[in-house]
């Protein structure tokens, strides 16, 4: 399968045959003069995709012998192990980013015959290869210290000069043996190695690029400051078009070539053993180009559009590039974060190769419609996006104003015939040899070995002199403040020259209006849009804020660990114990010891006589209905009070029929009636009968009052014969033979412990009673609310018996002492104790209140 192409803008993989990136729209291949570039293309899997190579470097190579590159490509691949990070980030450069248009060879790279074909004004880079440029030397020295690459560092002084030297050597073909770097493999921790002794580092960077295009994948070194992304079919752009012939020419260079300096040389040999004129030159490979091969250097810096000084790598074999290990290097951090890398080519002179780029890419929306001026050199989208809006890519090399860092890294323009200046990776570091020029890039922090030409590239003069007619300096990159703040790698922070706030372009449209240094957005992205529904500003009132604060406090309180509560002191129920003790003593003493003994009531209540008279006047041929509607808990009192009443009834021979609207009533009735009847000798079934349970409450009373026989179907504890069979079933018993309605009873007596049941019978049954008296035998607590039914001109209750004193009096009147008499003494003693306790409580409360009020008045 053909290798996929990696977009230089967004670093995403694209199909092999794609011209533009499907994600961001950038061109995957730089536009070159003269058609599609030929040659190999670095792909993700490292396979060589020769059919896709279309950059200008390939075209140049084709003219100067591409075979060498192809031959050396495998070697480079094999030697790629341990390559620096920056090489690992070699990425494909789209056609728009590549060098000169097809057919047009940059001056600095072309042969003398090619040089003549250059347009005037183009930057030409031709470095004298007779000596190692100063900047390269400085880089090499710095590499020896294994300093981190510092972005934005001022290029070393004389870097441009040194850069021009090796580029010139490439162009002239007389590249000394040590002109090009013979760089060892780039590894994260690898130091710049000295070129191989006795060998001039061959500029095999082009070859390596081919090899990489054939399948190599160089992973950038972490924090190297350089991003070499040559994965997945990376188009190496101009690097591929470095004429192999140049490399061959370079390979033939004699030992007179000055030793390569700086990181390039260090890549060839150990840092302190960089011989001159060794390395790749001995291998006959143009040293300046060898280390680059087909790779591209992606420099993490904003493209200012002023980088017209391009350092063209020398062709030839580069040992360091050979050792680039495919995939060995880890991606750089900023690459992972998707930061775009600008492709920066070292070169001199103008940026003619940019002319083919789409000028509309990266422009603001209002600028997108502007036609591309004739002859205006296009620039890649990525390039224009990071370039400040007010920085225009000059159509003429002379108009290019390099960025500050580039200016610092390019102290002087590459003279004609020399290799173009390559912006140094590190700024700020002063070369040991002094000089006004500072390297473009401070490679001291780089942990990788860089080509000499790149490391010793001298920064432009501080004044930022524009490139002369013969050369173009890449302006130092400037980062806006906000982007600088986003820089994740602290190592680059100190060397990256942050553009001044005032110099940065001011965004005038979109949500970032008013900010400086804003990256150019796509027209569609930058189109102002109406905010979404949720984008409205939240207005919080004071009340809401207070509520939110309250909620926040509540949540905090929930999360707060509360200290364990102190064990509460056990509170003894002393009052309860005291009261219980007094009551129990008051009850036990009369029962056990018979003391105290209270006199029986001498006065009979006014209610007792009418009741007794009523009972005494009942007919004996008609049964009396006794409703047992009290709870078993009140049986102690009710049995004592009702017992006297029922005893009188049975004593007179009045048949008694029991009924209950409560589930436990029949059992209570059975117990009481059976006991009294047994004492009176009254037979069951004739003397008394239990009708049982009637469910429904008021409804049951209503239906019983209206139709008694329809309400009750089953009797309770019916009399049985000797065989145990029920004598009668209830309504068929003789005692109820003449009873069909409620008014057929002689009397209706309701035994109730509560007000509700008594009131229900008074309300529901009264309309159906007629002249039948209704008697209430009540608990002492229910009497107050039933008495109104009794005390009326037309009373609904005809008789009322309530409380133990009344029962005792009733028993006294009947002269039949019963349970009421048995309860009298304990009842009296307990009541007396209660009276004293209540009185004591009242007195204590009053006294305390008076004392407190007195203290309050005094105090």
Give the contact letters, 773-812, x = binds to other proteins (CB under 8 A), - = no. Answer: ------xxxxxxx-xxxxxxxxxx-----xxxx-------
42 is an interface residue for other proteins by CB under 8 A:
no
Strand order in the sheet with 799-802: 688-693, 656-660, 624-629, 747-752, 774-778, 799-802
Find the binder of other proteins among 579, 604, 614, 813 (CB under 8 A). Answer: 579
Please, which residue, 43 or 760, has the CB nearer to other proteins?
A: 760
How far apart are CB 567 and other proteins at their closest, in Å?
17
Residues 750-769 that bind other proteins (CB under 8 A): 753, 759-760, 762-764, 766-767
Please, which residue, 65 or 666, has the CB nearer to other proteins?
A: 666
Collect all residues with Cβ–Cβ distance below 8 Å to 788 and sequence separation of at least 6.
Answer: none
- Which residue spans within 672-729 are E strands per DSSP? 688-693
How far apart are CB 784 and other proteins at their closest, in Å?
5
d(CA 7, CA 93): 8
Region of 233-241, 320-328, 499-507, 599-607 interacting with other proteins (CB under 8 A): 599-607
Distances (CA, A) of 858 to 476, 673, 854, 855: 92, 67, 6, 5
Find the binder of other proteins among 633, 734, 770, 854 (CB under 8 A). Answer: 633
Q: Are 782 and 752 in contact (CB under 8 A)?
A: yes
Region of 213-221, 235-243, 500-508, 817-825 interacting with other proteins (CB under 8 A): 817-825
Count residues binding other proteins (CB under 8 A).
Answer: 109
Cα 622 from chain centroid? 88
d(CA 379, CA 385): 10
Region of 420-428, 524-532, 554-562, 588-596 interacting with other proteins (CB under 8 A): 588-596
Q: Cis peptide leading into 24, omega within 30 of 0?
A: no
How far apart are CB 585 and other proteins at their closest, in Å?
10
Alpha helices in 236-332 (DSSP H): 244-251, 262-268, 287-290, 319-322
Please, which residue, 405 or 634, has the CB nearer to other proteins?
A: 634
818 is an interface residue for other proteins by CB under 8 A:
no
How far apart are CB 697 and other proteins at their closest, in Å?
7
Strand partners for 775: 749, 799
Residues 500-539 that bind other proteins (CB under 8 A): none
666 is an interface residue for other proteins by CB under 8 A:
yes
577 is an interface residue for other proteins by CB under 8 A:
yes
How far apart are CB 828 and other proteins at their closest, in Å?
4
How far apart are CB 582 and other proteins at their closest, in Å?
8
Find the binder of other proteins among 637, 650, 685, 749 (CB under 8 A). Answer: 637
How far apart are CB 629 and other proteins at their closest, in Å?
15
642 is an interface residue for other proteins by CB under 8 A:
no
d(CA 283, CA 317): 7
Find the binder of other proteins among 197, 432, 531, 596 (CB under 8 A). Answer: 596
Residues 836-855 that bind other proteins (CB under 8 A): 837-842, 844-846, 848-849
592 is an interface residue for other proteins by CB under 8 A:
yes
Distances (CA, A) of 539 to 202, 542, 549: 69, 10, 15
Name the residue among 667, 268, 635 with its Cα closest to residue 449: 268
d(CA 400, CA 378): 13
**3-class SS string, 462-481:** CCCCCCCCCCCCCCCCCECH
How far apart are CB 631 and other proteins at their closest, in Å?
7
719 is an interface residue for other proteins by CB under 8 A:
no
Region of 150-158, 212-220, 549-557, 585-593 interacting with other proteins (CB under 8 A): 585-593
Residues 685-704 that bind other proteins (CB under 8 A): 690, 692-700, 702-703
Element (H, E) at 342: strand 342-343
d(CA 234, CA 4): 8
d(CA 448, CA 224): 7
């Amino acid at each position: 399968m053909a290798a996929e192409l990696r977009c230089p803008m967004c670093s995403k993989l694209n199909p092999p045959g794609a011209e533009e990136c499907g994600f961001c729209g950038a061109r995957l291949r730089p536009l070159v003069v003269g058609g599609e570039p030929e040659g190999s293309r670095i792909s993700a899997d490292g396979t060589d995709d020769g059919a896709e190579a279309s950059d200008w470097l390939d075209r140049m190579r084709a003219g100067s012998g591409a075979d060498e590159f192809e031959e050396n490509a495998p070697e480079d691949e094999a030697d790629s192990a341990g390559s620096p990070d920056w090489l690992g980030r070699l990425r494909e450069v789209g056609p728009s980013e590549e060098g000169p248009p097809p057919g047009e060879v940059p001056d600095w790279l072309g042969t003398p015959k090619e040089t003549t074909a250059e347009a005037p004004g183009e930057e030409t880079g031709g470095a004298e290869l007779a000596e190692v440029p100063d900047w390269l030397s400085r880089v090499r020295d710095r590499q020896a210290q294994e300093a981190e690459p510092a972005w934005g560092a001022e290029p070393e002084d004389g870097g441009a000069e040194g850069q021009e030297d090796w580029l010139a050597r490439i162009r002239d073909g007389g590249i000394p043996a040590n002109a090009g770097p013979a760089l060892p493999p780039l590894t994260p921790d690898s130091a710049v190695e000295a070129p191989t002794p006795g060998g001039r580092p061959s500029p095999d960077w082009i070859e390596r690029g081919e090899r990489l295009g054939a399948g190599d994948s160089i992973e950038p070194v972490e924090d190297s400051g350089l991003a070499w992304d040559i994965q997945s079919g990376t188009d190496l752009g101009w690097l591929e078009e470095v004429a192999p012939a140049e490399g061959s020419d370079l390979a033939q260079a004699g030992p007179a070539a000055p030793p390569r300096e700086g990181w390039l040389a260090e890549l060839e040999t150990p840092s302190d053993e960089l011989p001159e004129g060794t390395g790749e030159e001995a291998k006959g490979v143009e040293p300046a180009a060898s280390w680059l091969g087909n790779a591209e250097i992606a420099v993490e810096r904003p493209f200012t559009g002023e980088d017209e000084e391009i350092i063209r790598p020398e062709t030839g074999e580069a040992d360091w590039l050979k050792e680039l290990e495919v995939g060995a290097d880890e991606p750089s951090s900023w690459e992972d974060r998707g930061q775009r890398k600008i492709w920066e080519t070292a070169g001199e002179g103008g940026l003619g190769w940019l002319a083919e780029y789409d000028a509309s890419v990266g422009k603001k929306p209002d600028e997108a419609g502007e036609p591309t001026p004739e002859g205006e050199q296009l620039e890649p989208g990525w390039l224009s996006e990071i370039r400040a809006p007010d920085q225009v890519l000059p159509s003429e090399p002379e108009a290019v104003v390099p960025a500050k860092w580039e200016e610092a890294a390019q102290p002087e323009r590459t003279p004609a015939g020399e290799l173009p200046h390559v912006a140094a990776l590190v700024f700020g570091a002063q070369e040991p040899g002094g000089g006004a020029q500072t390297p473009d890039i401070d490679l001291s922090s780089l942990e990788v070995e860089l080509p000499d030409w790149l490391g010793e590239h001298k920064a432009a003069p501080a004044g930022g002199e524009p490139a002369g007619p013969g050369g173009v300096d890449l302006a130092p990159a400037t980062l806006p403040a906000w982007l600088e703040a986003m820089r994740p790698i602290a190592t680059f922070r100190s060397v990256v020259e942050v553009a001044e706030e005032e110099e940065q372009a001011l965004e005038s449209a979109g949500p970032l209006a008013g900010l400086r240094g804003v990256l150019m957005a796509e027209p569609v992205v930058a189109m102002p849009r109406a905010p979404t529904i949720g984008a409205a500003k939240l207005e919080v009132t004071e009340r809401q804020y207070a509520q939110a604060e309250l909620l926040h406090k509540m949540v905090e309180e929930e999360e707060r660990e509360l200290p364990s509560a102190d064990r509460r002191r056990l509170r003894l129920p002393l009052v309860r114990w005291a009261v219980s003790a007094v009551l129990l003593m008051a009850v036990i003493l009369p029962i056990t010891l018979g003391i105290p003994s209270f006199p029986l009531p001498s006065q009979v209540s006014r209610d007792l006589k009418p009741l007794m008279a009523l009972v005494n006047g009942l007919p004996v041929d008609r049964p009396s209905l006794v409703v047992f509607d009290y709870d078993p808990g009140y049986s102690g009192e009710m049995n004592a009070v009702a017992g006297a009443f029922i005893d009188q009834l049975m004593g007179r021979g009045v048949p008694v029929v029991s009924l209950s609207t409560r589930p436990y009533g029949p059992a209570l009735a059975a117990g009481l009636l059976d006991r009294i009847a047994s004492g009176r000798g009254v037979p069951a079934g004739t003397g008394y009968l239990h009708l049982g349970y009637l469910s429904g409450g008021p409804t049951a009373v209503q239906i019983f009052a209206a139709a008694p026989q329809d309400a009750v179907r089953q009797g309770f504890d019916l009399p049985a014969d000797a065989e145990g069979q029920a004598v009668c079933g209830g309504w068929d018993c003789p005692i109820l033979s003449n009873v069909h309605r409620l008014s057929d009873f002689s009397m209706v007596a309701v035994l109730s412990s509560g007000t509700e049941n008594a009131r229900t019978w008074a309300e529901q049954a009264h309309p159906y009673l007629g002249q039948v008296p209704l008697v209430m035998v009540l608990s002492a607590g229910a009497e107050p609310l039933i008495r109104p039914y009794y005390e009326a001109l037309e009373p609904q209750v005809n008789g009322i018996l309530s409380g133990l004193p009344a029962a005792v009096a009733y028993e006294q009147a009947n002269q039949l002492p019963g349970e009421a008499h048995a309860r009298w003494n304990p009842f009296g003693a307990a009541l007396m104790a209660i009276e004293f306790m209540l009185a004591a409580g009242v007195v204590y409360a009053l006294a305390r209140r008076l004392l407190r009020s007195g203290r309050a008045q005094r105090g």
